[in-house]
Structure 1
Amino acid sequence: MSLKHLLLVGALALLAACSSNTPVIDESLSESELYRKAQVDLDAKNYGAAVETLRALEARYPFGRYADQAQLELIYAYYQNVEAEAATASADRFIRLHPTHPNVDYAYYIRGLASFNRDRGIIERFLPLDMTRRDPGAARDSFNDFAQLINRYPNSQYAPDARARMVYLRNLLAAYDVNVGHYYLKRGAYLAAANRGRYIVENFQQTPAVGDGLALMVAGYNRLAMYDLADSALQTLQLNYPDHPALVDGKFKHHIEPAEADLDWLEATSVGVIDAVTAPPPRMAKTQMEREMERQYQDAVDALPREIRVGGQEAGRTFWNKITFGLID
């Protein structure tokens, strides 16, 4: 690690230590005041303070009119404060307590994002990081979370982004298995390498890693003197991936250790997701206060006497209703 990276890590650690003081929440604040304060903190990107305010709101008014919204905002605040585990736990709790809530899809979405970025902490976001060589557990969890969102709420406003991230995650998982297969080849575990290549071909169809899986099968079977299987895999590789790096003038010449450029397709086929990894997720479209104001306004409009309503009501009156001043509908 270079000196520049060490200085950056030290600065971030110092900043985290300096900002660890828990703010004191005034106990005299009402439910509306607490919720308003949380919104101000979120708008100012002061996510640590927003977490404490929302937690205080939920603890003091667990059955208040802002309780559900506070729980959703808390999931978002945890995520933005780089507390992936807390965000996941809060999302799970909301889904368990409110399975039919109109905004429960948001909880599924943020839960998927939390898993998506679980291995990308504050330090890792500023340092070189090859995700294809790390434990794929978080990637699998994120893929499953997004899959649940799409299966349950296919028309959700968050579904398109979830689908794009699933494409990236599937490519990432396939690339991880490619690295595992090359490791087996390097260690002389040829049967394990061939089996890993077959697993890629069978389970990651329509990903660029299929060509690498076939190359692993050819290399592994050749080393095991299983030439019929090797030739079959080679013909499939030549037919479908004639420009694969393992082929030189159409002949197989496999490299044991994959070069850095071999997995560039992961970034090229990620539908712009890698650039969006550090982008903040959207907050709820409307806050609880905004929805309440709209509802109160609509209730007031509906309570107006019919004679003084304007706009659409006047336009819908019949000819006889107008000339008889409302006596005849």
Structure 2
Amino acid sequence: MRSFRLSTVPAGLVLALGLLLSGCANTPKDVTAGWSPEKIYAEARDEANAGAWDKAIGYYEKLEGRAAGTLLAQQAQIDKAFAQYKTGDKIQAIATLDRFIRLHPASPALDYAYYLKGLVNFNDNLGLFSFLTQQDLSERDQMAAKESYEAFQVLTTRFPDSKYSPEARQRMLHIVNALASYEVHVARYYASRGAHVAAVNRAQQAIAEYQGVPAVEEALGILVRSYDALGMTALRDDAQRVLEKNFPQSKILKDGGVKKATPWWRLW
């Protein structure tokens, strides 16, 4: 009868077994193993209230698995999205919200999900360094602002009486002005470099697409100066008449320069 001898086992296999056993011994214990879903949620809320967002996210993820298919799991998912937003993880927050919207189209928290999705994009670190760079936020990439607007638009259209809709409508107005300000910023750039045809095109685009917003005042001012530089006096005079009619107190032309608009993100 043959006996098993350790010496007959390849050294590499012995090492692998040792590492496996060592890894098992070092596996952290799940302290929530015996907890009820309610206790997990309470702990998650405590961590969130203390500003420990990463810890809260960990609890919410456990709760999603433990209480799958329940309203508590839905609450955990939406709360996790907010915690991800607070940590600055915009990509994960949006992914969590998109998943929530897809899986729970009848949820009573659906209006909040759209509101939070709009808020995440709206606050895409806007203005964080503007006091250092003196850079208007409208000069930044427009994608986040457009996605924020779309989420708020769904909210206000589908849930007009939601408690989140009034604020969403206010933010939508500022987003529209931001997009208009971006066009005006580009027009201003072209005008300052003597590219007056390009400046006219961008100013006209701002006026046509974003009527009724403050940035239109400067767009009209750019039209007046650019048409004047191009020798198009009839168009210049038309633009000036529109400017004077819609903004009778405008100082753009009197100041001899382009008015620098108040940053759109300063809501309050």
TM-score, shorter chain, exceeding 0.5? yes
1:116 CA displacement: 0.5
Gaps of 5+ in 2: 1-27
Letter in 1 for 2:147: D
CA contact (8 A) 2:32 2:40 kept: no
1:91 CA displacement: 0.8
Partner residue in 2 for 1:167: 173
Q: Work out whether 1:188 is the aligned partner of 2:181.
A: no
Distance, in Å, in 1 between the alignment partners of 2:130 and 2:45 is 27
1:90 CA displacement: 0.8
Partner residue in 1 for 2:261: 263
Partner residue in 2 for 1:274: 267
1:254 CA displacement: 4.9
CA contact (8 A) 1:84 1:115 kept: yes
User: RMSD value over aligned CA atoms?
Assistant: 2.4
Letter in 2 for 1:26: V
Which among 47, 51, 55 is matched to residue 49 of structure 1? 55
CA contact (8 A) 1:85 1:114 kept: no
Letter in 2 for 1:42: A
Structure 2 vs 1, CA of residues 24 and 179 (structure 1 numbering), >3 Å: closer, same or farther? farther
Write out the 4+ residue segments of structure 1 that deviate beyond 6 Å after TM superposition.
none
Distance, in Å, in 2 between the alignment partners of 1:203 and 1:126 is 29
- Greater CA drift, 91-100 or 230-239: 230-239
3-state secondary structure, aligned to 1:92: helix
Report the TM-score, using the length of structure 1 for normalisation: 0.66
Structure 2 vs 1, CA of residues 57 and 148 (structure 1 numbering), >3 Å: closer, same or farther? same
Distance, in Å, in 1 between the alignment partners of 2:66 and 2:239 is 65
Distance, in Å, in 1 between the alignment partners of 2:202 and 2:136 is 20
CA contact (8 A) 1:194 1:219 kept: no
Partner residue in 1 for 2:111: 105
Which among 33, 39, 43 is matched to residue 33 of structure 1? 39
Which among 38, 52, 66 is matched to residue 72 of structure 2? 66
Structure 2 vs 1, CA of residues 228 and 191 (structure 1 numbering), >3 Å: closer, same or farther? same
Which among 196, 211, 218 is matched to residue 224 of structure 2? 218
CA contact (8 A) 1:132 1:176 kept: yes
Partner residue in 1 for 2:101: 95
What are the within-5 Å matches in structure 2 for residues 113-152 of structure 1? 113-120=119-126, 124=129, 130-152=136-158
Distance, in Å, in 1 between the alignment partners of 2:139 and 2:29 is 43
Structure 2 vs 1, CA of residues 105 and 119 (structure 1 numbering), >3 Å: closer, same or farther? same
CA contact (8 A) 2:130 2:137 kept: no
Structure 2 vs 1, CA of residues 125 and 217 (structure 1 numbering), >3 Å: closer, same or farther? closer
3-state secondary structure, aligned to 1:247: coil
Distance, in Å, in 2 between the alignment partners of 1:214 and 1:126 is 28
1:88 CA displacement: 1.0
Structure 2 vs 1, CA of residues 242 and 65 (structure 1 numbering), >3 Å: closer, same or farther? closer
- Greater CA drift, 28-37 or 181-190: 28-37
CA contact (8 A) 1:95 1:104 kept: yes
Report the TM-score, using the length of structure 2 for normalisation: 0.80
Instruction: After superposition, give the CA deviation of every residue in 1:209-255 in whole Å (9 maximum; x if it has no partner).
Output: 1211111212222223322212111111123323323322xxxx753
Structure 2 vs 1, CA of residues 209 and 25 (structure 1 numbering), >3 Å: closer, same or farther? farther
Distance, in Å, in 1 between the alignment partners of 2:130 and 2:205 is 31
- Greater CA drift, 96-105 or 78-87: 78-87
Structure 2 vs 1, CA of residues 120 and 35 (structure 1 numbering), >3 Å: closer, same or farther? same
